[in-house]
Structure 1
Amino acid sequence: MKQTLTQSMAWLHTWGGLIVGWLLLVIFLTGSLAVFDQEIDNWMQPELPAHHLSDEQAVQLALGYLSEHKADARQWGISLPNERSPQLQASTGGRRDGVSVSLNPDTGKVLAVRETAGGMFFFGFHFTLHLPRMIGIYLVGALAMGMLAALISGIVIHKKFFKEFFTFRPAKGQRSWLDAHNASAVLLLPFHLMITYSGLAIFLIIYMPAAMDALFEGNREAFFKAQDSAPVVREAARGMRAEPAPLVDMAPLLAKAREVMGPLGGVSISNPGQSTAEIQIRPLLGNRIALTKGQGMRFNGVTGEQLSGPTEMRASVLTHRVISGLHFAQFGGYPMRWLYFVCGLISTAMIGSGLVLFTVKRRRKYASEGRVGQVLYRLVEAINVAVMAGLGLACISLLWANRLLPAGMTDRADAELNVFFCIWALSVGHALFRSRMQAWREQLGLAGVMCLTLPLLSLMTVNTPWSLPSRAGVELTAMGLGALLLWASWKVSQPGAVRVPRRQRGAMAEGN
């Protein structure tokens, strides 16, 4: 029975890993890049200058612009600059129909900032795969379940964790790939389990809506209201007639909110210039592990009286927020972000080594199975190249497109995405029509060269490419990744890099 279970788990791990492995690699790589989404945004909008504004100064600049140009709007919004982003934004309207502009931190005038897909593209791609939102969320959820199955089955078939972690046989072809796959999987097993489970937990209500439907009859607004356990200090007057009234001085409110909630992220003002005005001040994400999105303090916009404070989450809500916060990595500052980034890249390599193992172990088998088997195997190998090397090439091409496309062109963000997907599609064709080793070497090499020369491109197209530390960080990181890609390109061209041994050994061979 024990052997049968192990063989069954090996079969599930191997074939389930192939089916979901390609998309999981895409999810992990784009998720790793999304850890620095705001930093990539800063790099892709070089017109944004550095700022040295306090919250009070930034709010006054934004209010000056809004009162002059958008005095009749019923909703004002201000996004404050912070350590990760220098952008001061003023907006009108709601979340879906709002219009925002970036302001010069010195003059308060509107900045002409290029339109770009930005780092948010990687963030959105990470959990939707650029599909319609709900379809993408369900598909990624199914893949996450597949990832959990692969992790659990991998634990069952690999019992000697410590031995496998300290075992690495370089230049041994398939054995080296197996050792790299096992070592990276064992090293980051807690991270893999946490990131996969927390990713599923974020969309708990979407994946398992039965409880909400039963208790709240599908009313999500009522569900979210029921999560707040702290009572409102005093509700603003409802139904009162609006009269013209000046907005309260914001400085004391900002100071009070900062004292209670820590660093601030933004301000929303409803009915500005009227006696019914309300002010909501939001905290900056990242002060604690639990996500604080949706939390804040509300004030009367005329008298400055506090209407409600940051709500204290129920135990169940706090648990969910903590699990979600572990996935988003908004806490811990840059050390935590770098930890997540490195772990994400190692996880990507772990999945990639598993995909390479699948093809290496079956090369001789499919070579002797006739034309159909050979075509199938050739297709699998081409997809491997495009998913790993081709995706990296497409990602760096997106950054190159940001610098090479005219800054003022219309639909510029869509043009950047067209470059990304066209390069990725070309990588599939290239992998199909070039030999296996040539495709690996050329795509990895080209991606490496583009990463290494990204600072040179930026220097040639932008007057002050390193005006912000985050922009220097993006380019230095690209150079480091470029060096790794060039090393990989050289490595796969060495004799015996993916040699198939005569005798198939290792735990992965069980059940195959």
Structure 2
Amino acid sequence: MKQTLTQSMAWLHTWGGLIVGWLLFVIFLTGSLAVFDQEIDNWMQPELPAHHLSDEQAAERALGYLREHKPDAKQWGISLPNERTPSLQASTGGRRDGVSVTLDPNTGEVLPVRETAGGFFFFFFHFTLHMPGMLGIYLVGALAMGMLAALVSGIVIHKKFFKEFFTFRPAKGQRSWLDAHNASAVLLLPFHLMITYSGLAIFLVIYMPAAMDALFDGNREAFFKAQDRTPPALEVKHAAAIEPAPLVALGPLLSKAREVMGPLSSVSITNPGQSNAEIQIRPLLGNRIALAKGQGMRFDGVSGEPLSGPTDMRSSVLTHKVISGLHFAQFGGYPMRWLYFICGLISSAMIASGLVLFTVKRRRKYASENQVAQVLYRLVEAINVAVMAGLSLACISLLWGNRLLPISLAERSDAELNVFFCVWALSLGHALFRPRMQAWREQLGLAGVMCMTLPLLSLLTVNQPWTLPSRLGVELVAVVMGALLLWACWKVAQPVVERVPRKKAAQLAEVN
């Protein structure tokens, strides 16, 4: 029975890992890049200048613009610059019909910045795979379940995996790939379990809506409103007659909110210039593990009196927010982001080594089989090249497209995405029609060269490419990744030397 269970788990791990492994590699690699999505945004909009303004100064810059250009708007929004991004934005309208402009934080004038898909594309692609509607979210959820199955089955079939973790035999072909796969899987096993489970928990209302449907008739807005514990006694009802009234000074309110919530992210003003004006100030994510998005403080827009503040969340809500916060890595600052980034890259390498092992182990077995089997495994190998080397090439091509496409191009962000997907599609065609090893070398080599020369591209296309440390950081990381890709290209180019076991070698020596 024990042997049967192990064999069953081995079958599940092998074939389940292949089916979900390609998309999981895409999810993990883009998720790793999404850890630094705002830094990539800064790099892809080199027009944003550096500044050293306080929240109060930045808010006054934005208010000056809104008072002058949008005095009749019913809703004003101000996105404050912070440590990770220098962008100061002023907006009018709600989330769906709002119009936003980027302001120069030093002058308050509208800043013409290029339209770009930005680092948000990697974040959005990470959990939707750029599919329409909810299809991508459901597919990613199914893949996460497959990842959990692969992890559990991997633990079962590798009964001595802690021993194998300390065993690495380089330059031994398939054995080395297996050692690397086992070592990376064991090293990051807690991370893999946490990141996969938390990814599923984020969309629990979508994946398991039965309770919400039963209690709230499928009304998500009512469901989330029921979780709000804001005391009704704090609500202040305005007089029925609405009259013009000056807006209270924002400086003292920002200072008071910062004392309670820490660093701030945005200010929202409803009915500015009226007696029923309200001001909502939201905190910057990162002070707590719990993903307290939407939590903030509300003030009367005329008197400045507090209307409501951040409240303690229910235990069930807090649990969900903590699990979500673990996945998004919005806490711990840059050290935590670097940890997640490195773990994500190692996880991608673990998945990649498993995919390579699948094809290596079966290449000889099916070399003499029927033509259908040969075509099938040739297709699997081509997809391996396109998923791993081709995706890396597509990601760096997106950054190159940001610099090379005309700044005034209409629908420029869509054009950047066209570059990404066209390069990725071409990598699959290249892998199908080129010999296997040459396809690996050429795509890895090209991606490595493009990463290594990214600083040179910025130097030739941007007047002041490194005004922000984050921009220089993006290019230094690209250079390091390029070096790793070129090293992989060089390793692939090395001839494989088959090592004969000692016993077999002695037997052959005796025969000869």
Question: TM-score category by the smaller chain?
Answer: over 0.9
Structure 1 residue 407: Cα displacement: 1.0
Structure 2 gaps, min length 5:
503-512
Residue 228 (structure 1) aligned with residue 228 (structure 2): yes
8 Å CA contact 1:233, 1:306 repeated in 2: no
Counterpart-to-counterpart distance in 2, 1:397 and 1:481: 14
Q: Which residue number in structure 2 is paired with residue 331 of structure 1? A: 331
Structure 1 residue 329: Cα displacement: 0.1
Structure 1 residue 58: Cα displacement: 0.6
Counterpart-to-counterpart distance in 1, 2:53 and 2:393: 38
8 Å CA contact 1:44, 1:116 repeated in 2: yes
Deviations 1:278-323 (A, max 9, x none): 1000000111100110100000101111000112101111110000
* Matched AA of 2:392: G
Structure 1 residue 236: Cα displacement: 3.3
Q: Which residue number in structure 1 is paired with residue 421 of structure 2? A: 421
Q: 1:500 to 1:419 in 2, by over 3 A?
A: farther
Counterpart-to-counterpart distance in 1, 2:217 and 2:364: 58
Q: 1:438 to 1:71 in 2, by over 3 A?
A: same
Counterpart-to-counterpart distance in 2, 1:165 and 1:386: 29
What secondary structure, in the 3-state scheme, does the structure 1 residue paired with 2:366 have? helix
Structure 1 residue 233: Cα displacement: 4.6
Deviations 1:154-198 (A, max 9, x none): 010011122111111111111011000000000000000000000
Counterpart-to-counterpart distance in 1, 2:300 and 2:499: 72
What secondary structure, in the 3-state scheme, does the structure 1 residue paired with 2:244 have? coil
Deviations 1:79-138 (A, max 9, x none): 000000000000111111111111011110000000000000000000000001411100
8 Å CA contact 1:440, 1:489 repeated in 2: yes
Structure 1 residue 227: Cα displacement: 1.3
Q: Which residue number in structure 2 is paired with residue 450 of structure 1? A: 450
What secondary structure, in the 3-state scheme, does the structure 2 residue paired with 1:118 have? coil
Counterpart-to-counterpart distance in 1, 2:156 and 2:241: 68
What secondary structure, in the 3-state scheme, does the structure 1 residue paired with 2:27 have? helix
User: Does 131-140 or 110-119 show the bigger shift?
Assistant: 131-140
Task: Kindly report which structure 2 residues correspond to 1:134-213, keeping only aligned pairs within 5 A, or say none.
Answer: 134-213=134-213
Counterpart-to-counterpart distance in 1, 2:500 and 2:270: 70
What secondary structure, in the 3-state scheme, does the structure 2 residue paired with 1:90 have? strand
* Matched AA of 1:129: L
* Matched AA of 1:236: V
Counterpart-to-counterpart distance in 1, 2:380 and 2:239: 65
What secondary structure, in the 3-state scheme, does the structure 2 residue paired with 1:110 have? coil
Residue 352 (structure 1) aligned with residue 352 (structure 2): yes
TM-score by length of 1: 0.96
Q: Which residue number in structure 1 is paired with residue 509 of structure 2? A: none
Q: Indicate the percent of aligned positions where both proteins have the same amino acid.
A: 83
Q: Which residue number in structure 1 is paired with residue 505 of structure 2? A: none
Q: 1:359 to 1:239 in 2, by over 3 A?
A: farther
Structure 1 residue 238: Cα displacement: 5.7
What secondary structure, in the 3-state scheme, does the structure 2 residue paired with 1:228 have? coil
* Matched AA of 1:358: F
Residue 437 (structure 1) aligned with residue 410 (structure 2): no
Q: 1:259 to 1:379 in 2, by over 3 A?
A: same
Q: Which residue number in structure 2 is paired with residue 110 of structure 1? A: 110
Q: Which residue number in structure 1 is paired with residue 467 of structure 2? A: 467
Counterpart-to-counterpart distance in 2, 1:19 and 1:483: 30
Deviations 1:420-462 (A, max 9, x none): 0000000001101111100000100000000000000000000
Structure 1 residue 234: Cα displacement: 2.5
Residue 120 (structure 1) aligned with residue 120 (structure 2): yes
Q: Which residue number in structure 2 is paired with residue 492 of structure 1? A: 492
Residue 94 (structure 1) aligned with residue 105 (structure 2): no
Q: Which residue number in structure 2 is paired with residue 506 of structure 1? A: none
Residue 479 (structure 1) aligned with residue 479 (structure 2): yes
Q: Which residue number in structure 2 is paired with residue 508 of structure 1? A: none
Q: Which residue number in structure 2 is paired with residue 507 of structure 1? A: none
Counterpart-to-counterpart distance in 1, 2:175 and 2:242: 75
8 Å CA contact 1:233, 1:307 repeated in 2: no
8 Å CA contact 1:233, 1:309 repeated in 2: no
Counterpart-to-counterpart distance in 2, 1:349 and 1:501: 28
What secondary structure, in the 3-state scheme, does the structure 1 residue paired with 2:48 have? coil
Q: Which residue number in structure 1 is paired with residue 393 of structure 2? A: 393
Q: Number of residues paired by the alignment?
A: 502
Higher relative CO (CA 8 A, sep ≥ 6), structure 1 or 2?
1
Task: Kindly report which structure 2 residues correspond to 1:367-378, keeping only aligned pairs within 5 A, or say none.
Answer: 367-378=367-378
Counterpart-to-counterpart distance in 1, 2:193 and 2:249: 49
Q: 1:60 to 1:18 in 2, by over 3 A?
A: same
Task: Kindly report which structure 2 residues correspond to 1:26-37, keeping only aligned pairs within 5 A, or say none.
Answer: 26-37=26-37
What secondary structure, in the 3-state scheme, does the structure 1 residue paired with 2:234 have? coil
Structure 1 residue 221: Cα displacement: 1.6
* Matched AA of 2:236: A
Aligned Cα root-mean-square deviation (Å): 1.3
Counterpart-to-counterpart distance in 2, 1:45 and 1:338: 22
Q: Which residue number in structure 1 is paired with residue 129 of structure 2? A: 129
Counterpart-to-counterpart distance in 2, 1:44 and 1:327: 25
Q: Which residue number in structure 1 is paired with residue 301 of structure 2? A: 301
* Matched AA of 2:162: F
What secondary structure, in the 3-state scheme, does the structure 2 residue paired with 1:366 have? coil
* Matched AA of 2:314: R
TM-score by length of 2: 0.96
Counterpart-to-counterpart distance in 2, 1:233 and 1:308: 9
Q: Which residue number in structure 2 is paired with residue 260 of structure 1? A: 260
Deviations 1:197-250 (A, max 9, x none): 000000010000111111222121221122123414522326723211110011
Structure 1 gaps, min length 5:
504-512
* Matched AA of 2:120: M
Deviations 1:452-493 (A, max 9, x none): 000000000001111000000000000000000000000011
Counterpart-to-counterpart distance in 2, 1:239 and 1:413: 46
* Matched AA of 1:214: A
What secondary structure, in the 3-state scheme, does the structure 2 residue paired with 1:275 have? coil
What secondary structure, in the 3-state scheme, does the structure 1 residue paired with 2:115 have? coil
What secondary structure, in the 3-state scheme, does the structure 2 residue paired with 1:29 have? helix
* Matched AA of 1:432: L
Counterpart-to-counterpart distance in 1, 2:7 and 2:208: 32
